[in-house]
Copies of this chain bind each other. A is one copy, B any other.
Amino acid sequence: MSAESNENINAEVMQVEPLNPPHRLLMAPGPVNVDPRVLSAMSQPTVGQFDPYMFKVMGEVQLMLRAIFKTTNKQTFVVDGTSRSAIEAAFVSVLAPGDKVLVCCAGRFGMLLKEIAQRCKAETHVIERPWGEVFSIDEIADAIRRIHPKLVATVHGDTSTTMLQPLEGLGEICHENGALLFTDATASLAGNELKTDEWQIDIVTAGMQKCLGASSGMAPITISERAVAVMDERKSIEAGIADTSEEIQNNRINSNYFDLPQIIDYWGPRHLNHHTEATHLLYGVHEATRIIAEEGIDHVIERHQINGLAMSTALLKMGLKLYGDQQTRMNDVIGVVIPDGLHDTAIRSQLLEEFGVEIASSFGPLQGKIWRIGVMAWNARKDAVLTAASALGTVLNQNGAKLDIQKGIDAASAIYAQSEKESKA
């Protein structure tokens, strides 16, 4: 670096001001506003990674995640990375090159599963449904019997299409055919019913910045004993200790960072050193899962259902068209058809700049066709839903739409009133 460019960089660097984020109401499908209780937890003092207090926090996080996943799986913890890090950890730990995987793809996040499987050099078989649809269990079962995969990979809630894939009954079929069942519940966990043990799902991964209400950067995962056994066949001895046979080398997990058997040892009673657990993110996960524990996971799911219904009803009744079959929609993500003649990004920019409200576009065939509205975690509450719906309606009317905003808000309010009445009864 020349002295001159050095000076230029230092001059620019000195002008960087302290953080001062603008107010936002984040109604895209994540990240959503982190609950102030969680923000406060993330600023607690640091302890060392092998401190007895750190082990206590880790253990409590495992306990609370089990309740959320509805599982007794011992191997329930977080991977230190964003949501897709846990997906990759699951795939690379299960799938050796050449192993067969069946990917069920009906949206962008199905395509991501396909891509990650291919990067693992797995023999990747894909069944597809048009975006906006879900698979029947029979359809997946047929493919399993035809392909005999080691792993069946599904997306529980694909935010790109807002659809929720039914999974009940699929676990048994996978196990009858010698396959493990994986589901990506990044955007669905805690917002929709998901019974890991009862539905016999072997691996579930999630994200913190959606219905779990913490910051992005950690990815919860739960792993059945059956799946742990499959991974353990590929477990390798740690660096520096002989690992010479060609067979072991070829079957070895092709990642250190995502080697789940090693991460299990880090989270286990021996706490074998692997990475350095991300202390403050873990604090955030602790408080976020504690908030869910206080409310109770079933009540949290019900709250997402009611608030999602209030949002979809508000938009429908003010005169917008909802996207997709509402019977198979995720509770926490609503698709709205962009009215003819209105420009996707211009409307979203105006909504953000004038009302501080963020909603999202979609991807691929749905880009510019629908908006996606998230009703997640702390933001799955009445004032957030009514504020966002009103603001969107207002901006659309400013751009020539003829929506009856009052009618939409009244219909949403009626849903809340009904729900409050029922919960008192």
Contact = CB atoms under 8 A, between A and B. Distances in A.
Interface of A: 1, 5-6, 9-10, 12-14, 16, 18-19, 21-24, 26, 28, 30-34, 39-49, 51, 53, 57, 60, 63-64, 66-67, 70-72, 80-85, 88, 92, 108, 111-112, 114-116, 118-121, 195-198, 207, 209, 215-218, 238-240, 243, 249, 252-259, 273, 275-281, 283-284, 286-287, 290, 293-294, 296, 352, 358, 363-364
27 contacts: A1-B198, A9-B66, A10-B67, A10-B293, A12-B63, A14-B293, A16-B60, A16-B286, A18-B41, A19-B44, A21-B44, A39-B42, A39-B44, A42-B280, A43-B43, A80-B81, A82-B275, A112-B239, A114-B239, A119-B254, A119-B259, A207-B276, A215-B280, A217-B280, A217-B281, A240-B364, A281-B281
A239 B111 contact: yes
Nearest to A69: B1
Contact of A254 (B10, B47, B120, B287): B120
Given A1-B72, A115-B240, A216-B279, 5 more contacts: A9-B66, A49-B216, A82-B276, A108-B239, A216-B277
Given A198-B1, A279-B215, A19 B256 contact: no
A101 to B, nearest CB: 14
The 5 closest A-B pairs by CB, nearest first: A217-B278, A115-B239, A1-B197, A82-B275, A39-B43
Given A1-B72, A5-B72, A72-B5, A256 B60 contact: no
Nearest to A39: B43
B84 A256 contact: yes
Number of copies: 2
Given A46-B32, A239-B115, A41 B13 contact: no
